[in-house]
Chains A and B, each alone.
Chain A
Amino acid sequence: MESLKIAATERSPEVDFDFKHGVLSLRGESYPEDASAVFGPIFEALERFLPTVGNREIRVDFDLTYFNSSSAKALMNMFQMLDNSAAGGARIVVSWFFAPDDDTMKEFGEDFSEDLEHVVFNLVAVESAA
């Protein structure tokens, strides 16, 4: 399946889904005026990709510094999808990156991963490149 690459904008994250190698990442800030415009293509791609993964190993990185409530709901939906796939046999590792001094992002990561039962979830503190 072809990769999904969408450049970041001021209000939306960079999307880099390399399906061939099983490495998916969302990076940046997310507070779009129209959440469906940003997350629509993402979900569409995941819905096509996840049923094909079987028991492959998939890495999903979330490196977000800021998001609004709609994006938060979309992220939880995404986590749920990934967890369902993992329940079906895929080996999915989700990494949630946050800056060491950003307690809010860390807590959101903790909260959002509460319901995950099948994916491997990592909270990763990283100094931001900026």
Chain B
Amino acid sequence: MNEQPRTLYWIFLSLVGLVISLYVLFPVFWLFLASFKTQAELAQLPISFWPEAPTFDAYKALFSPTHQKGQLLDWPQLIGNSFFIAVSSTIIVLVFGTLAGYAFSRLNFPGRDLILGGLLISRMFQGAALLLPTYRLMSMIGLQDSLIGLVLLYSAFGLPFATWIIASSLREIPRELEESAMIDGASRLQSMVMVVLPLATPALITAAMWHFVGAWSEFAFASILLESNDHKTVTIGLASFVELFTLEFQYVGAAATIVALPIMLIFLFGQRYFTRGLLAGAVKG
């Protein structure tokens, strides 16, 4: 009976969503299309929206050794560096964040809640204010211009929030599940690995996604700490286009597309885990 208004409402909502998406995504999409155009096509007026003759030249150029000499940074190297930094620091953050989150959620020690709150506050001091002190610190301990240095730095930045997310999700898991596992014969570590962590998967994935995306796209600290070209990351690579003699937008588009790809894949893959109600049925329903 009320099918009609419902459908109208749905159409209305979809339209609003569409308009917002268009507004947000248009520049991104334009850059994406630009990566398939030629230099000449980009320069011509009036501007053409769709590439007239789509070409992969820009991508090829980014990955061709000859082109990298004078004009462009070594993109395979940049991507490798960024992956190394993002993946290693995500692993560090997950391992230590899980251990710390477990301790915060399960063990009783003095000052526990204070420290957990302090973790969140520590995040407020991030950003520009930390740039110079961090630079000085890293040079003092000889970790400037070092990928390992950046891995450690990102891990330090990422751990408080990851710990916090994981601790709060572990708190939601009924203590009895673990107690039950321990009575069933599990050690604390076994009960954590076999019972608690599978139930915390959504939180672990969220924490990992959050950190990976942050580390992958971090620019400020990378740009002041990394000096040599073979240590640079994709975000520095993207920024360096600005310094190039001509603004060759097809390269910018191709590079931006490549940089955005892992993040898009991550969200595509991770979204499913956000909504999974893994806890359903654990206790009386």
Do the two chains belong together in a single complex? no
Residues of chain B whose beta carbon lies under 8 Å from any beta carbon of chain A: none
Residues of chain A whose beta carbon lies under 8 Å from any beta carbon of chain B: none
